[in-house]
Structure 1
Amino acid sequence: MTSETRRSFGRIGIWSSSLASSRADDAGRKAIAEAVAELDELKYGTLWIGGSPSPEDAAAVVGATRSTTVATGILSIWDHTAEEVTAAVAALGAESRGRFVLGLGVSHGPMVPQYKKPYSSMVSYIDALDDAAPPVDAGHRVLAALGPRMLKLAAERALGAHPYLVTSEHTAQARRTLGPDALLAPELSVVLDTDLDRARTTARTMLAMYLRLPNYTENLLRSGFAESDFDGGGSTRLLDALFALGDTERVRSRTQEFLDAGADHVALQVLTAEEGGGGLPRDQWRELASVFADKL
């Protein structure tokens, strides 16, 4: 990966499932377009469209921005065929001017009836992207990778990895597995609330769903947590390792831990109690842009 590619991602990005406009009504789509245009002006390096987005979601965000890199975080290989995706990426080519990055993942067995052989299925999907005309080249795709095999695949067949719901210690291990040249862009969930009990309640509301998905719990067990850490929506130890809870300076400090551990870029997901973890928290995005001004 070149220094130019690292610069194109920036050090700090925003991750939000609420940027997927295909799930919104007309008013919602307008609000999303206005929000991403502001995020572009705030100079965030990359906007990650979360929650199994579609190629159409990516096209909408690309169309509403001018300079920010736009990435799917993460498109499920079970929801869209490689042929469909390559056609969509090709259509985005001129408008995106190389700003679009295809983030791919295998999703989760409990959510996908046809789920099987995730590693082999990802390899086959990447082969199809390579064989397409035009192909989606390795320099414009990243993989959702947690375990060693998928991380190695991300280094060999993609620009790098976009791990979700991980610790800074996992980031350090992922860097060792990926090697020095692959992109490493973990997600970090943020709750801007100095009442730590309330902040942890907000975090647990979001985390509860993920603790029902084996890919995440198995990775957390590999990372040194115990089954008991999953009880009640997550132990304090687990929450404090996975989230940045507190004021903006605490968020900056936690983000720096991930950068120091080997991340090239950190994708911040802002959770709010009012929105149940979703929505478009534009005030918080502005606040964080001010705190990270030297990194944007």
Structure 2
Amino acid sequence: MTLIEDTRARLGAVGAWLPSAPLAPPPDVERAATRRLADAGYRSVWSGEGPGSREVFAHFGDLLASVPDVVLGTGIANLWARRGATAQKGGATLAQAHPGRFVLGIGAGHAFQAEKLGEAYRPIDRMRAYLSDMDAAEAENPSPVAFPRILAAVGPKMLELARDHADGAHPFAQPVSHTPYAREILGPDKLLIPQQTVLLGTREDARESVRRRVAQSREYRVTAYIAGWKRLGYRDADIDGPSDRFVDDLVLWGDAGTIAKRLDEVLDAGADHVLLTPSATSFESTVDILLELAPEVVR
């Protein structure tokens, strides 16, 4: 069995994606939440790193040791936080300690993060060089246990880089219609693990959630998300409205049964494993909603 086949088997269909772990809640709260999600049937739990969050490799080392029967994935380890060789060694360390239970998702972050370091934001060039550094570190000191690396990828060039130099892609904040688009570029032999926002509520509730996402994307100049939406045919009027079509494509909303049926659309469109993120206001409410959804969505 290849690494990708083994990863697909271990991940199953559905996982949980939690907001980047801040320094609060305390680690024991997050360990308990991860335990509850695993007990509810979620095959993987993901989070990443952003401003004010925990350092992702130390964070995941703690969680992997504390919750021994779930796959953990970084969504994402930010390349501005460490060199490629360091990321490779960090991944190899966790994979050896916890075989088959760690997926390294890597992302180029956003322009405001690069600017804080005085760097130009050229995500494709930077990611290509970063992967080369990782490859060189692996060639010099091979990892005793192989682990998958996937890229935060939305547009065609990053998806092609994920296809040619990684094990797949982890699209974030994209509509359901992005999944077949990404699968066509990746081909059948790479992992496709999209994050998907879900909301227990009405279309109007979902519309308000989308408005917040759009406002935040424009405030922080997260151009990749907006460009991805437009690439799928949405105009500024759809995005800023937001239109019913855009709301329904970006958020799986309704009751738990309706959300489960929409989830099947994402899987049927080519996703290997879908990471659910509730539209919620706190870490605790995010976990509670995932637990409420579990009887319908976990399969």
RMSD (Å) for aligned C-alpha atoms: 2.2
Query: What is the letter of the counterpart of residue 185 of structure 2?
Result: T
Q: For 1:261 and 1:205, locate their aligned partners in 2 and report how far apart those are by CA, in whole Å.
A: 27
- Following TM superposition, by how much is the alpha carbon of 1:242 offset from its aligned partner in structure 2, in angstroms? 0.6
Matched, 1:153 2:161: yes
Please give the alpha-carbon distance, in whole angstroms, between the structure 1 residues aligned to 2:85 and 2:141. Answer: 10
Distance 1:77 1:250 in 2: 37
- Aligned pairs for 1:16-165 (under 5 A) are 16-18=18-20, 20=21, 23-25=22-24, 28-52=26-50, 54-113=56-115, 114-132=119-137, 133-135=140-142, 139-165=147-173
Corresponding residue number in structure 2 for 1:6: 8
Q: Work out the CA distance in 2 between the residues paired with 1:279 and 1:115.
A: 37
Q: How do residues 176-187 of structure 1 correspond to structure 2 at under 5 angstroms? A: 176-187=184-195
Partner Cα distance (2:15, 2:107) in 1: 19
Letter in structure 2 aligned against 1:162: H
Instruction: Look up the equivalent residue of 2:92 and give its one-letter code.
Output: A
Counterpart Cα distance in 1 of 2:285 and 2:93: 27
Matched, 1:215 2:262: no
Runs of 4+ in 1 over 3 A off after TM superposition: 50-53, 133-139
Stretches of structure 1 that go unaligned for 5 or more consecutive residues are none
Give the length in aligned residue pairs: 285
State the AA in 2 paired with 1:173. Answer: Y
Greater shift in the superposed pair: 178-187 or 125-134: 125-134
* Partners of 1:108 and 1:115 within 8 A in 2: no
What is the Cα deviation at residue 90 of structure 1?
Answer: 3.1
Letter in 2 for 1:45: R
Instruction: Give 3-state SS (helix, strand or coil) of 1:200's partner.
Output: helix
Name the counterpart of 1:257: 265
- 8 Å CA contact 2:45–2:73 kept in 1: the answer is yes
Which residue identity does 1:131 align to in structure 2?
A: A
2:297 pairs with 1:292: yes
1:196 aligns with 2:203: yes
Secondary structure of 1:8's aligned partner: helix
**How much has 1:100 moved relative to structure 2?**
0.8
The aligned counterpart of 2:239 is 230
In 2, Cα distance between equivalents of 1:15 and 1:125: 24
Q: Tell me, yes or no, if the aligned pair for 1:139 and 1:158 is still in contact at 8 Å.
A: no
TM-score between the two structures when normalised by the length of structure 2:
0.87
TM-score by length of 1: 0.88
Q: Which stretch of structure 1 is more off in the superposition, 143-152 or 209-218? A: 209-218
- Offset, 1:183: 0.6
Give 1:139 shift: 4.7
* C-alpha separation in 2, matches of 1:51 and 1:207: 21
Cα deviation 1:146-198 (Å, max 9, x = unaligned):
111211211122110010111222211111111111111111101112x4323
**Equivalent residues of 1:188, 1:244 under 8 A apart:** yes
Determine if contact 2:151/2:169 at 8 Å carries over to the other structure: yes
The Cα shift of 1:63 comes to: 2.1
Q: Is the 8 A contact 2:277 2:286 kept in 1?
A: no
Distance 1:83 1:170 in 2: 31
2:27 partner amino acid: R
The question of whether the paired residues in 1 share the 8 Å contact of 2:49 and 2:78 is answered with: no
SS in 2 for 1:191: strand
AA at the equivalent of 1:202: S
Q: Which amino acid aligns with 2:237?
A: S
How many angstroms apart in 2 are the aligned matches of 1:115 and 1:45? 38
Distance, in Å, in 2 between the alignment partners of 1:280 and 1:92 is: 29
Unaligned segments of structure 2, at least 5 residues = none
- Report the Cα offset of residue 135 of structure 1: 4.7
- Give 1:281's match in structure 2, choosing from 265, 283, 286: 286
The CA deviation at 1:138 is: 7.8
